[in-house]
Structure 1
Amino acid sequence: MSESFAPEADARLRSEAAELISRYPDSRSALLPLLHLVQSEDGYVSPRGIALCAELLDLSRAEVSAVATFYSQYKRHPNGEYTVGVCTNALCAVMGGDIIWERLSEHLGVGHDETTADGRITLEQVECNAACDYAPVVMVNWEFFDNQTPTSAVDLVDQIAAGRPVHPTRGANTVATFKEVEHVLAGFEDGRADEGVGAGEASLLGLRIARDKGWIAPRVVADGEAGGRAGGDSQVPTESAQAAEDLTSPPVGVEGSSADRQPVTERDVSPETVRDEHKGNVE
């Protein structure tokens, strides 16, 4: 690949880069979005992309490369049109993530961070997709495909390979290409933020139960604030008093009582207290 962008691409990238840089009081703070920007052009952080970032931010190429090699979302070799990430962290693995990974790797003939010969799919084994309530989860260009099975995952990559649109469980109605998503990650909206389902029932279940029971989070009060330690004993709001009792009571068959445990109230959360409590737990 040439060491510089074609004139049209160079002008466009410089214009968008100027907009990104203007959003920060210190220009070098724009390095992360700029790396996404050049990746949206080449499909990876190319040598010419590094050179452009370094020039625009008055950094050395070594400084830019040091950042680009630190974060896993920045690719140092050409990425496929679609990144298929299989979560094999604890819960997803137990629920079948390991089997899904093995099946997809065998089916596509590639391993971790490798791309199929047609350039369509890059397969990744990821630590966590932050969707444990829908395990096992597969992501395509960071869009969620929940409650997967080996069969459904194979069908998913076959649809991608065939050029057919795929529809996430949550999020946008269809999955954008890797380069299109990178342009969004750089900081340019694509107008699709409100498409599809934002949060599914499994994610909202705890919130719904809390509202049905009138549970609310306790408010931590700082020193000197009315109602805090300096202003008198803090109280759990009336509507959540029973919830606090429920939460501090031990499960059936477990020794102890609510009197043995710290109630769910405003309490001392100073760094010193947290440190001492942590030290006591470790000892």
Structure 2
Amino acid sequence: MKNIKKINKKKEIKLTAKEKKKIKKEKKNYKNKNSVIIEALKIVQEERNWISDEIIIAISKEIGVSYNDIEEIATFYSQIFRKPVGKHIIKFCDSVVCYINGYKNIQKKIEYHLKIKPGNTTKDNLFTLLPICCLGNCNFSPTIMIDKDIYGPVSTNSIIQILDKYL
């Protein structure tokens, strides 16, 4: 558990009017304050790309839920980013089907081309590479997802052309 007093000594970060408005609108859909936590995290992450400790404090104040309750949820869900990520998130499916169809070669090509390993971000902060257990696109495996775009089947030849679309 993080020491909230230490976090509070850092510069306080406030939610934007846009973030507050979206969270307030979302809160109306839930009877319980805790139920809006995931949606609030998603709203803020959409604007800022990741969730810092200071942002958790701001969300806590906005929805009236403890820091620890929000922190538990933020660290549990893999799609809530707790450290800075690149402008574009590349998720490569590492399921059994994608494994059989050669995702490892795709992964190696991406790593070589971008000079990063899974879990890391390129030096220019353009791409973050993340494994994901399934993208639900097995009939077109191996599959990758960049931001909200799904590609498959991808090959070592097509992956560079796909990445170039995001430069």
TM bucket by the smaller chain?
0.7 to 0.9
Aligned equivalent of 1:76: 82
Cα shift at 1:60: 1.8
> Which digits, 9 at most, give the CA deviation of each residue in 1:164-212, with x for residues without a partner?
xxxxxxxxxxxxxxxxxxxxxxxxxxxxxxxxxxxxxxxxxxxxxxxxx
% identical equivalent positions: 23
2:159 corresponds in structure 1 to 153
Give the aligned partner of residue 46 of structure 1.
52
CA distance in 2 between partners of 1:156 and 1:70 (Å): 30
What pairs with 1:65-104 in structure 2 (closer than 5 Å)?
65-104=71-110
SS of structure 2 residue aligned to 1:38: helix
Task: Quote the Cα distance in structure 2 between the aligned partners of 1:103 and 1:146.
Answer: 15
The structure number with the bigger radius of gyration is 1
Is the Cα contact below 8 Å between 1:95 and 1:136 reproduced in 2? Answer: yes
Structure 2 unmatched ranges of 5 or more = 1-9
Normalising by the residue count of structure 2, what TM-score does the alignment of the two structures yield? 0.88
- 1:14 matched residue in structure 2: 20
Which position in structure 2 is the counterpart of 1:3?
A: 12
Cα contact 1:88–1:101 (8 A) shared by 2: no
Whole-angstrom distance in 2 between the partners of 1:24 and 1:70: 21
2:140 corresponds to 1:127? no
In the TM superposition, what is the alpha-carbon distance from 1:80 to its structure 2 partner? 1.1
Distance (whole Å) between structure 1 residues aligned to residue 39 and residue 19 of structure 2: 12
Three-state SS of the structure 1 residue aligned to 2:80 is: coil
Q: CA RMSD in A?
A: 1.5
Q: Distance in 2 between matches of 1:138 and 1:13?
A: 30
- Conserved in 1, the CA contact under 8 Å of 2:33 and 2:65? no
Residue 23 of structure 1 deviates from its aligned partner by: 0.9
- Asked if the contact 1:83/1:123 (under 8 Å) is kept, the reply is yes
Where do 1:165-204 residues align within 5 Å? none
Match of 1:106 in 2: 112
Give the conservation status (yes or no) of the 8 Å contact 1:92–1:132. Answer: yes
Displacement of 1:37: 1.1
AA aligned opposite 1:50: I
Deviation of 1:130 after TM superposition, in Å, equals 0.8
- Corresponding pairs, count: 158
Gaps of 5+ in 1: 162-283
Q: Deviations over 1:80-120 (max 9, x none)?
A: 11111111211111111111001111111111121111111
Q: TM-score, normalised by structure 1?
A: 0.53
Secondary structure in structure 1 of the residue aligned to 2:145: strand
Residues of 2 paired with 1:86 and 1:150: CA distance? 13
Give yes or no for contact 2:89–2:130 (8 Å, CA) kept in 1.
yes
- Partners in 2 of 1:102 and 1:50 — Cα distance? 35
SS in 2 for 1:124: strand
Taking the aligned partners of 1:104 and 1:127, their CA distance within structure 2 comes to 17
User: Which residue identity is paired with 1:51?
Assistant: I
Any conservation in 1 of the 2:19–2:43 contact (CA below 8 Å)? yes
Q: Does 1:143 align with 2:143?
A: no
